């Protein structure tokens, strides 16, 4: 019996040893061999769409299997910084700035990798690391980190680092990670620093370091005590921890715009000369996206009064239209001959028409998804006095409204939900119904004024094809609610300073005060700003997102972008004396700006003559 027990124990030991070796081998393969990410993931898409193309780019380095590139890519794309996504360490270190995303597990680089990263910094490179660092104290200067979910604020010490030079507003210098109403926010790490390492941002709740900087040779290593996903992607998915400021929804909320500004500044510091793609078209210094509603609380006469204000000023707006065809308790213009005539007049003046649902119910987020086969004949929703949509569905609201408007006035690309109600699967419904963009959330709720691709069913790690244009300012649709035009202009100035578009919703209520406010803003806006409908801005932003460019060492700006007159605008580090493009392309130079008006869907090379070349 004893021999049998020893034999069984021996066999079990061998099995466990083989299993342990297999696990060790599988971990080694998973971390060192870096298998290709699953097709359809954001990593796979970014590796395909953002390959290494020019040594002047920023690089997102997926050093380990668990690293996710989306948050960094979102920041670089918003900032207009040229970047690539790569799994190759030697390839990444050819670039002036390298960002390595975080993972829940330690990085544990090999001796060769640590030596290569240190040599990169010593040679003048900028390295950005997210926690948790592991065995990297010599490189980062971080000796320990304290993980917690109780930190609520992030404070940038703007005088300590050139990367914070664009944070010139109080709302940018300190942002919320979570409301004090919630007990737990995102995971953060208070950094304990070794001598010679500098704190440049703090968690002021506990006076702990949130971002550190270590100078190595001619370069710098920054360590972040938080995950970029929590400050960039979580708000877009409406999953932040109630981190909007109390004074919103109207006003200036740049919490998710801060890190694109910081990475932009770090990139500009890391190389000279540099070029970046501006977020505004042409030479404009501001972009006002004007929108109105036709529906509950509005009359056709009030809508026509707004149009009469805009026509002589040569501006067009987007009109989000309710397509009611059954009476319910919310009074609104019915979709009949009078409304259709008004819509056609607006379209003839260059205004854009977009959907504002059929029933305009506040319960859109709770409706069943529907089939997508709903028609006016089969879809008969009724909104009762309790605000419940009887017989409604999400696809019914989307498809029937779009069909009715398209049949009367042409192609419909945009949507805005009633009462800013957004279902978790709104992006999927918009895609199936044929929309291109949505504008149903406020900048205060998404913590950004920049357009972004809607997260796929509110998942932080996946993006849909639907573009979101968050509203920077929206008034109430009650006629008695005033609009302060000076407050609108002040917020517009702050948003424009970051190059974000300013989406303004002003209802055409039947009061002179709102007409006066609209006139005041249009007449007193800065002269170097544009006023566009939302659909035009959505097309510009899509072209900007697909554009690829590089500033070559010989002073040639190489640009590839979709076909069309997009007026892509590039800012350069030094003033331009002249520029000339390949035959057939129209370009313009103005100071440090180069505008490529039309790429014709083909690569274009712009030869630059510098007025002055400054040193790095």
Residue 562 lies in a domain: yes
Last residue of some domain: 499, 520, 540? 540
480 — pLDDT class (breaks 50, 70, 90): low
| Residue 238 and residue 298 in one domain | no
| Residue 581 and residue 524 in one domain | no
Using CA atoms in the order 2, 6, 12, 14, what is the torsion angle rounded to 10 degrees? -160
CATH number for 257: 3.40.50.880
At which residue do the structure tokens 């919320």 appear? 176
- In this model, does residue 19 exceed pLDDT 60? no
| Residue 299 and residue 448 in one domain | yes
| Residue 230 and residue 290 in one domain | no
Residue 485 lies in a domain: yes
Q: What is the mean pLDDT of residues 546-552?
A: 94
- In this model, does residue 607 exceed pLDDT 60? yes
Residue 63 lies in a domain: yes
- DSSP sequence for 367-392: S----S---TTT---EE-TTS-EET-
- In this model, does residue 169 exceed pLDDT 60? yes
Nearest by Cα to 280 from 28, 22, 79:
79
Residue 14 lies in a domain: no
Residue 560 lies in a domain: yes
pLDDT score of 455: 94
Last residue of some domain: 226, 254, 277? 277
Residue 202 lies in a domain: yes
Q: 11 or 562: whose pLDDT is higher?
A: 562
Q: What is the mean pLDDT of residues 41-65?
A: 92
- DSSP sequence for 390-401: ET--HHHHHHHH
pLDDT score of 245: 80
34-43, 99-108, 382-391, 593-602: segment of lowest average pLDDT: 34-43
pLDDT score of 21: 41
| Residue 456 and residue 519 in one domain | yes
Q: How far apart are CA 546 and CA 47, in angstroms?
A: 14
What are the pLDDT digits (tens) for 100-155?
998 777 777 888 999 999 999 999 999 999 876 666 888 999 999 999 999 999 99
| Residue 535 and residue 551 in one domain | no
| Residue 489 and residue 593 in one domain | no
pLDDT score of 615: 47
- In this model, does residue 602 exceed pLDDT 80? yes
Percent of the chain with pLDDT over 90: 70
Residue 33 lies in a domain: no
Nearest by Cα to 445 from 239, 586, 285, 263:
239
| Residue 487 and residue 469 in one domain | yes
| Residue 171 and residue 244 in one domain | yes
Nearest by Cα to 275 from 28, 46, 20, 610:
610
pLDDT score of 34: 44
Q: How far apart are CA 449 and CA 503, in angstroms?
A: 8
What are the pLDDT digits (tens) for 303-331?
999 999 999 999 999 999 999 887 766 66
138-142, 260-264, 376-380, 473-477: segment of lowest average pLDDT: 473-477
Q: What is the pTM of this model?
A: 0.90
297: left (phi over 0), alpha (psi -120 to 50) or beta: left
Residue 13 lies in a domain: no
- The SS3 of residue 135 is coil
What are the pLDDT digits (tens) for 395-415?
999 999 999 999 877 889 999
Q: Structural domain of residue 591, as residue ranges? A: 547-610
Last residue of some domain: 482, 512, 540? 540
CATH number for 304: 3.20.20.370
- Give the total number of structural domains in the chain: 3
Q: What is the mean pLDDT of residues 592-608?
A: 91
Q: How far apart are CA 298 and CA 479, in angstroms?
A: 9
Percent of the chain with pLDDT over 70: 89
Tokens (6 digits) for 133? 């660092």
pLDDT score of 26: 33
247 — pLDDT class (breaks 50, 70, 90): low
pLDDT score of 22: 43
Q: 36 or 525: whose pLDDT is higher?
A: 525
Q: What is the mean pLDDT of residues 37-41?
A: 62
What are the pLDDT digits (tens) for 495-534?
999 999 999 999 997 778 999 999 999 999 999 999 999 9
| Residue 323 and residue 175 in one domain | no
pLDDT score of 409: 78
Q: In whole angstroms, what separates CA 378 from the centre of its chain?
A: 38
| Residue 125 and residue 164 in one domain | yes
- In this model, does residue 356 exceed pLDDT 70? yes
| Residue 604 and residue 506 in one domain | no
Q: How far apart are CA 583 and CA 33, in angstroms?
A: 46
């Amino acid at each position: 019996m004893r021999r049998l027990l020893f034999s069984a124990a021996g066999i079990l030991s061998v099995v466990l040893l083989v299993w342990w070796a297999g696990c060790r081998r599988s971990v080694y393969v998973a971390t060192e061999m870096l298998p290709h990410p699953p097709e359809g993931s954001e990593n796979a898409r970014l590796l395909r769409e953002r390959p290494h193309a020019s040594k002047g780019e920023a690089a997102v380095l997926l050093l380990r299997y668990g690293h996710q590139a989306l948050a960094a890519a979102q920041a670089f794309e918003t900032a207009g910084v040229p970047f690539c996504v790569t799994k190759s360490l030697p390839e990444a270190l050819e670039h002036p700035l390298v960002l390595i995303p975080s993972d829940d597990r330690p990085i544990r680089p090999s001796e060769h990798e640590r030596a290569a990263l240190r040599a990169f910094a010593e040679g003048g490179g900028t390295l950005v690391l997210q926690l948790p660092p592991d065995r990297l104290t010599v490189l980062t200067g971080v000796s320990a980190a304290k993980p917690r979910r109780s930190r609520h604020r992030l404070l940038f010490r703007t005088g300590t680092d050139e990367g914070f030079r664009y944070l010139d507003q109080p709302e940018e210098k300190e942002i919320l990670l979570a409301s004090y109403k919630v007990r737990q926010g995102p995971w953060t790490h208070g950094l304990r620093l070794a001598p010679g390492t500098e704190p440049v941002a703090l968690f002021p709740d506990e006076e702990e370091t949130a971002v550190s900087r270590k100078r190595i040779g001619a370069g710098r290593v920054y360590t972040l005590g938080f995950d970029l996903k929590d400050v960039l992607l979580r708000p877009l998915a409406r999953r932040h921890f109630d981190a909007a400021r109390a004074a919103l929804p109207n006003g200036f909320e740049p919490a998710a715009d801060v890190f694109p500004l910081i990475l932009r500044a770090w990139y500009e510091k890391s190389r000279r000369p540099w070029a970046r793609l501006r977020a505004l078209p042409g030479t404009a210094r501001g972009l006002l996206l004007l929108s109105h509603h036709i529906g509950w609380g509005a009359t056709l006469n009030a809508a026509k009064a707004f149009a009469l204000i805009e026509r002589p000023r040569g501006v067009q707006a987007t009109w989000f239209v309710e397509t009611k065809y059954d009476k319910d308790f919310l009074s609104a213009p019915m979709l009949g001959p009078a409304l259709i005539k008004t819509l056609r007049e607006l379209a003839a003046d260059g205004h854009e028409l977009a959907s504002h649902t059929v029933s305009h119910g506040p319960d859109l987020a709770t409706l069943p998804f529907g089939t997508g086969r709903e028609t006016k004949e089969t879809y008969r929703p009724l909104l009762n006095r309790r605000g419940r949509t009887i017989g409604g569905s999400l696809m019914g609201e989307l498809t029937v409204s779009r069909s009715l408007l398209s049949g009367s006035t042409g192609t419909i690309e945009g949507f805005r939900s009633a009462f800013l109600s957004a279902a978790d699967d709104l992006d999927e419904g918009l895609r199936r119904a044929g929309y291109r963009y949505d504008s149903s959330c406020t900048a205060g709720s998404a913590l950004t004024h920049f357009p972004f691709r809607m997260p796929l069913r509110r998942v932080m790690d996946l993006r849909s094809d639907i573009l979101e244009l968050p509203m920077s300012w929206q008034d109430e649709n009650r006629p008695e609610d005033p609009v302060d035009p000076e407050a609108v202009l002040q917020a517009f100035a702050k948003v424009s300073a970051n190059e974000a578009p300013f989406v303004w919703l002003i209802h055409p209520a039947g009061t002179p005060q709102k007409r006066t406010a609209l006139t005041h803003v249009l007449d007193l806006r800065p002269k170097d700003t544009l006023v566009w409908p939302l659909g035009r801005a959505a097309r510009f932003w899509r072209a900007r997102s697909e554009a690829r460019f590089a500033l070559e060492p010989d002073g040639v700006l190489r640009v590839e972008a979709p076909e069309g007159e997009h007026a892509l605008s590039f800012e350069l580090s030094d003033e331009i004396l002249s520029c000339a493009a390949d035959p057939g392309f129209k370009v313009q130079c103005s100071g440090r700006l180069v505008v490529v008006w039309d790429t014709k869907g083909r690569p274009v090379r712009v030869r630059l003559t510098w007025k002055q070349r400054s040193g790095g």
